[in-house]
Amino acid sequence: MSSAGPTDRFNEERATYSVRGSDTPDLDAGVAAIRNVLATLPQRSGVYRMQDARGEVLYVGKARSLRSRVANYTQIKQLPKRLQRMVSQTRSMTIVTTNNEAEALLLEAQLIKRFRPAYNVLLRDDKSFPFILLRSDSDFPRVQKHRGARRAPGNYYGPFASAGSVNNTLNALQKLFLLRSCTDGFFKTRDRPCLLYQIKRCSAPCVGRIDKEGYAELVDDCRDFLGGKSTKVQAKLGAQMQAAAEAMDFELAALIRDRLKALTFVQGTQAINAEGVGDADIFALACKDGVIGIQAFFIRGGQNWGHRSFFPAHTSDVPEDEVMLQFMTQFYEEVPPPKTILLDRELTEGVLLGEALAERAGYKVAISVPQRGDRRRLMDQAKRNAIEALERRLAESTTQAKLLRELAELFDLASPPDRIEVYDNSHIQGTNALGAMVVAGPEGFRKGQYRKWNIKGNEAATDSDVGMMREVFRRRFARQLEENPDRDDGTWPDLVLIDGGRGQLNAAKAVLEDLGIEDVCLVGVAKGPHHGREGREVFHLMNGTERMLPVNSPLLFYIQRLRDEVHRFVIGAHRDKRAKAMGASPLDEVPGIGPARKKALLMHFGTGRAVRNASLEDLKKAPGVSAGVAQQVYDFYHAR
């Protein structure tokens, strides 16, 4: 099912039932709303959404029988406190029926990911997983790192736990199989080998140093390696090296020897021994002090492709069995499941989960708890990692909580901030001006909530940092007032840090005052008397006072990390914008001119300026340009 439209295939059977009332939590009103829906519910599988008086989704659940499942919410005394609070806020429900319970489980995961309800367990991870893509749309396929939708033709291998895991594997693939990693444009314009050929990481098919058949053989070896047949590849390379040595071709033998060394290095650096496991994901859960952590190992073709720790949100008072089920359905919403999934516990709905994943993947998915042998040893290692990661998380959260308390004391906040926003801008003499915001909280940086703004103000506004900061704040908080005037969706900041001095702070303060916002704490973070020296930052407060911290203060280090993160984000965004602008052409502005005609005009006239200054007759002479297009281009530049 497509994540772009999670309810598309169920819309024909969709119905909404509601009883509107006060937004104030009220158990009787919530139960009345649920009972009103209950009277018309079928004994069919489906998904239900609990919504408050404003239509905000509170909870998404699935059911084998909608009527039986929803009826449970009217038995208030049998519900945990968490669900009692949810019922008290419920004023309407949306019902979607499905063909079976497996479909309901899949749809539930899609809707949770889409609405992120306050009472559902949430997979708190906003980064897509990286894959390796071996393309198939060229005579000389390219191997590359890939994120996002898998639309390009070729074989995808993953997921990898991190970009570092992918980079290490790509590094090994370059040494092992000498496949090209360059773009098609770069590949087609080469007239001599690049540096990768010189350091023996590419076979230089761009200049004919290897023919199509020889390159295809390397591609097949790469597929075997990524598919878990590394022993076969190793044996083949060994035979080739021996044959080259016997033929006295010692240069070739040395090259193959280096490739064998790369293969042996990869095999020897596996953090865990997963030989014989094939393709499998391994999950282990640890719980301590009400916090749950899940450790995942990704094994493909008997190779360890890395591991990652997850800490789902909204797990308080939720049984561990349900947390694991919800985590896995959301995890596999975008990641294709392997044929084997190993868990550290039996799930009550494990069979249903397997059916749902098989329906999505198109092949059987076996979910099991290993009892002995290599799989059991892998599970034990995953459990140890889960416990250790959770303990680190708790230690970090304790330190983080202390820092946030100290931050509240430093800036006179009523309580430790839950949401900190940090602002900065970047430009070069006013060009390509861009503002950015990063967000942090008790759990660390919330990268999914970072934002950037192209500065669109007039010349006076974009030739100074103060003017840019003014525009960014006006756009950011005017939209906040429009979209969430009640400030109850968690997107209003408790503390705003501005990279800059008194001027930027006053500009931001004036904007908020104009918008009628008086209760957001603003702090300017500026370099001190000795500019450029770390640790001498001055904090400008809204009341006109200034504060400094000792150079060895942990709180100062924390604020510096926040400032460095916004620097990293805004500079990266500005670099991307500048690079895009450098590659732009004046012809991009002409409506109706596509890449082919733009290329034809530039090839004929040489530059965009020459196209602009060309006469109508000259434009008509350009190959591939019709009289109508020539007139359109001419009018664009002259009929103004």
* pLDDT at 8 exceeding the cut of 50: no
Q: Tell me, what's the pLDDT at 365?
A: 93
What mean pLDDT comes out for the span 566-590? 69
User: Which has the closest alpha carbon to 504: 486, 480, 522, 478?
Assistant: 522
458: exposed, middle or buried (C-beta count within 10 Å: 0-12, 13-18, 19+)? exposed
The full set of domain ranges for the chain reads 8-115, 131-268, 280-391, 420-581, 586-638
Confidence of residue 89 (pLDDT cuts 50, 70, 90): very high
Residue 85 CB neighbours (<10 A): 17
Identity of the residue numbered 387: I
pLDDT digits (tens, 9 = 90+) for 429-462: 555 678 889 999 988 898 888 998 888 765 444 4
Alpha-carbon gap, residue 103 to 83, rounded angstroms: 24
* Both tokens assigned to 607: 């530059």
* pLDDT band with cut points at 50, 70 and 90 for residue 12: very low
Weakest mean pLDDT among 50-64, 125-139, 399-413: 125-139
Confidence tier at 11 by pLDDT (50, 70, 90): very low
Query: Tell me, what amino acid is at 394?
Result: L
Question: Which range has the worst mean pLDDT, 69-78, 205-214, 454-463, 609-618?
Answer: 454-463
| CA–CA separation, 636 and 640 (whole Å) | 7
pLDDT at 1: 35
Contact between 460 and 467 under an 8 Å Cβ cutoff? The reply is: yes
> 8-115 domain in CATH 3.40.1440.10?
yes
Write down the pLDDT at residue 572: 81
Q: What is the CATH number of domain 280-391?
A: 3.30.420.340
Handedness of CA 430, 450, 146, 111 (dihedral sign): negative
3-state DSSP assignment of residue 249 = coil
Q: What is the pLDDT of residue 87?
A: 93
What is the model's pLDDT at position 276?
64
Query: Do residues 611 and 633 make contact, with C-beta atoms less than 8 angstroms apart?
Result: yes
pLDDT value, residue 254: 78
| Residue 577 pLDDT class (50, 70, 90 cuts) | low
Q: What is the mean pLDDT of residues 491-520?
A: 90
Of 518, 519, 520, 540, the C-alpha closest to 528 is: 540
Task: Kindly give the residue spans of alpha helices, DSSP state H, lying in 370-464.
Answer: 373-410, 459-462
> 149 is written with which tokens?
């939708």
- Beta-bridge partners for 499: 525
The per-residue pLDDT for range 388-431, each reduced to its tens digit, is: 999 988 887 788 888 999 999 999 888 899 999 999 887 655 55
Give 586's pLDDT tier (boundaries 50, 70, 90).
low
Tell me the pTM. Answer: 0.69
- For the chain, the average pLDDT equals 82
Residue 6: predicted pLDDT: 41
The pLDDT tens digits for 143-179 are 888 887 788 898 888 888 877 778 878 887 887 788 8
What's the Cα-to-Cα distance from 187 to each of 144, 147, 192, 213, 596, rounded to whole Å? 14, 22, 10, 18, 20
pLDDT at residue 489, as a whole number = 74
* Averaged pLDDT for residues 78-95: 91
Structure-token pair, residue 129: 């997983």
More confident position, 296 or 427: 296
Position 9 scores a pLDDT of 45
Q: Phi first, then psi: give them for residue 84, nearest 5 degrees.
A: -65, -40
Q: For 251-255, 270-274, 627-631, which range has the lowest pLDDT when averaged over its residues?
A: 270-274
Cα atoms in the Cβ-side hemisphere of radius 13 Å centred on 133 = 20
Q: What pLDDT, on a 0 to 100 scale, did the predictor assign at position 541?
A: 92
Question: In this structure, are residues 121 and 144 in contact, taking their beta carbons and an 8 Å threshold?
Answer: no
**CA–CA separation, 19 vs 23, rounded Å?**
12
The answer to whether the beta carbons of residues 370 and 378 sit under 8 Å apart is: yes
Query: Which parts of 309-372 fold into alpha helices (H)?
Result: 320-331, 350-361
Of residues 384 and 463, which shows the higher confidence score? 384
State residue 511 phi and psi, 5-degree precision: -65, -45
Residue 188 pLDDT class (50, 70, 90 cuts): confident
Q: Assign domain 586-638 to its CATH architecture.
A: Orthogonal Bundle (1.10)
Percent of the chain with pLDDT over 70: 86
Q: Which CATH architecture has domain 420-581?
A: 2-Layer Sandwich (3.30)
Work out the pLDDT band at 15, boundaries 50, 70, 90: very low
Q: Is the pLDDT of residue 25 over 80?
A: no
Same fold, 280-391 and 420-581: yes
Residue 337: pLDDT over 60: yes
Greater confidence (151 vs 45) lies with 45
Secondary structure (DSSP) of 21-64: --SS--HHHHHHHHHHHHTT--SS-EEEEEE-TT--EEEEEEES
Q: Find out whether 121 and 318 touch, Cβ atoms under 8 Å.
A: yes
Residue given tokens 């994540």 in the structure block? 3
Residue 213 has pLDDT above 80, yes or no: yes
Find residue 284's DSSP bridge partners. Answer: 295
User: What pLDDT shows up at residue 232?
Assistant: 75
* Predicted local distance difference test score (pLDDT) of residue 432: 64
Where is pLDDT greater, at 585 or 141?
141
Least confident residue range of 107-111, 290-294, 537-541, 613-617? 613-617
Amino acid at 246: E
370 vs 374: CA distance, rounded Å = 9
Q: Locate tokens 């990911």: which residue? A: 113
Q: Reply yes or no on whether the pLDDT at 363 is more than 50.
A: yes
Give the pair of three-digit tokens for residue 245: 């040595």
The whole-angstrom separation of Cα 213 and Cα 164 is 32
Beta partners for residue 44, in sequence order: none
pLDDT band at 341 (very low <50, low <70, confident <90, very high): very high
- pLDDT of 532 strictly over 70: no
More confident residue, 475 or 590: 475
pLDDT-derived band of residue 543, with 50, 70 and 90 as boundaries?
A: confident
The pLDDT of residue 7 is 43
Query: Sorting pLDDT into bands at 50, 70 and 90, what band is 21?
Result: very low
